[in-house]
């Protein structure tokens, strides 16, 4: 066994929530190729050969619990990739409440145990969550499904921006308690990526940073390019990393922060809550 084997998934069982399309499908394909036994949970049809497919509706608690029970354990790597855009009924449950409930149920039944890893897909919308932490802590402290759903809906926060802020805050705040159980949790914050969801919201999602990419002569990321980062975080090779949201945006935010690409300064400053 060589040192580079830490990047592989041989002998491991990986569950990809939202693994039928887009970045989730790329993650499922990648970790399967790296040696994992793969379970894909999704509302959409799963077409990747060689995986166990489980129907899942993250907006329904009963569906989440049934999917977890069907999956069983152990779960060495849980990839929480499912997400929807504004205008989707149940967005607050699909993007956050359902994921958290699934994780908690896997913790309770022992499927996630010492040595397990969790990786979320967040978004640029989730950056700058620190300025809202006091309010987000109220949501994170509200662990009951119905109460958490009501918290988001009643405050007018059942939207893409606030659910992604919740994901980033959850990953950061819970990293300590998870690591005490021997479990690492991280997330990636992708830049514009050419997925079916992005294509359905093309003007906003793929238009963001287009001037930056044009200036550099590069394209929006592919789903597999984002999958590489998430698979690394949930591999044994990422052992020293927990509680972070890795910004995988081809340098757009960094160029805005440092003003090396001046047009990015305004969007980066706004998203990061710097003004």
Q: Is 107 among the domain residues?
A: yes
SS3 193: strand
Describe the chain by its helix, strand, coil percentages, rounded to 5: 50, 15, 35
Least confident of 9-18, 180-189, 255-264: 255-264
Task: Report the number of distinct structural domains present in the chain.
Answer: 1
The answer to whether residue 94 is domain-embedded is yes
Q: What is the reported pTM?
A: 0.94
Mean pLDDT on 103-107? 98
Domain assignment present for 211:
yes
Q: Kindly indicate the confidence band of residue 204, based on its pLDDT and cuts at 50, 70 and 90.
A: low
Q: What is the pLDDT of residue 190?
A: 93
We report the CATH number of the domain holding residue 224 as 3.40.50.720
Strand boundaries in the chain, DSSP class E? 13-17, 37-42, 52-55, 77-80, 117-121, 184-190, 245-248
Residue 24, domain member (yes or no)? yes
- At 261, the pLDDT band (50, 70, 90 cuts) reads very high
Task: Give domain status of residue 250, yes or no.
Answer: yes
- Which residues 6+ apart lie within 8 Å of 2 measured at CB? none
Residue span of the structural domain in which 25 resides = 6-271
265, part of any domain:
yes
What pLDDT shows up at residue 196? 74
Digit-coded pLDDT (tens) for 124-176: 889 999 999 999 999 999 999 999 999 999 999 999 999 999 999 999 999 99
Confidence category of residue 208, pLDDT binned at 50, 70, 90: confident
- Residue 1 covered by a domain: no
| CA–CA distance, 66 with 54 (Å, rounded to integer) | 9
Residue 274 pLDDT: 75
Give the dihedral sign, CA 242/244/250/255.
negative
Q: Report the share of the chain in percent with pLDDT over 90.
A: 83
* Spatial CA neighbour of 224 closest among 34, 2, 10, 13: 34
Establish if 218 belongs to a structural domain.
Answer: yes
* Beta strands 117-121; 52-55: pairing state: unpaired
**Is the pLDDT reported for residue 210 higher than 80?**
yes
Question: Is pLDDT at 122 greater than 80 in this prediction?
Answer: yes
Strand partners, 54: 41
- Over residues 15-41, the pLDDT tens digits come to 999 999 999 999 999 999 999 999 999
Place of tokens 């079916």: 196
């Amino acid at each position: 066994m060589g040192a580079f084997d830490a990047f592989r998934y041989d002998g491991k069982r990986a569950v990809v929530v939202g693994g039928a399309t887009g970045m989730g499908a790329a993650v499922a394909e990648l970790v399967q190729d790296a040696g994992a036994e793969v379970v894909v949970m999704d509302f959409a049809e799963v077409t990747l050969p060689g995986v166990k497919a489980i129907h899942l509706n993250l907006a329904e608690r009963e569906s989440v619990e049934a999917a977890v029970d069907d999956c069983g354990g152990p779960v060495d790597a849980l990839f929480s990739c499912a997400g929807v855009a504004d205008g989707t009924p149940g967005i607050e449950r699909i993007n956050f409440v359902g994921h958290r409930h699934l994780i908690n149920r896997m913790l309770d039944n022992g499927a996630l145990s010492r040595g397990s890893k969790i990786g979320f897909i967040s978004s640029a919308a989730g950056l700058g969550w620190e300025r809202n932490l006091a309010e987000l802590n109220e949501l994170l402290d509200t662990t009951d499904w119905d109460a958490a759903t009501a918290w988001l809906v009643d405050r007018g926060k059942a939207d893409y921006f606030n659910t992604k802020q919740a994901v980033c805050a959850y990953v950061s705040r819970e990293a300590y308690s998870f690591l005490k159980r021997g479990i690492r949790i991280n997330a990636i914050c992708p830049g514009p990526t050419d997925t079916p969801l992005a294509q359905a919201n093309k003007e906003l999602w793929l238009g963001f940073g287009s001037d930056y990419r044009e200036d550099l002569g590069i394209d929006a990321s592919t789903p597999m390019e984002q999958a590489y980062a998430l698979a690394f975080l949930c591999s044994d090779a990422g052992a020293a990393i927990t509680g972070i949201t890795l910004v995988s945006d081809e340098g757009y935010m960094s160029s805005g922060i440092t003003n090396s690409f001046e047009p990015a300064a305004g969007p980066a400053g706004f998203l990061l809550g710097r003004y």
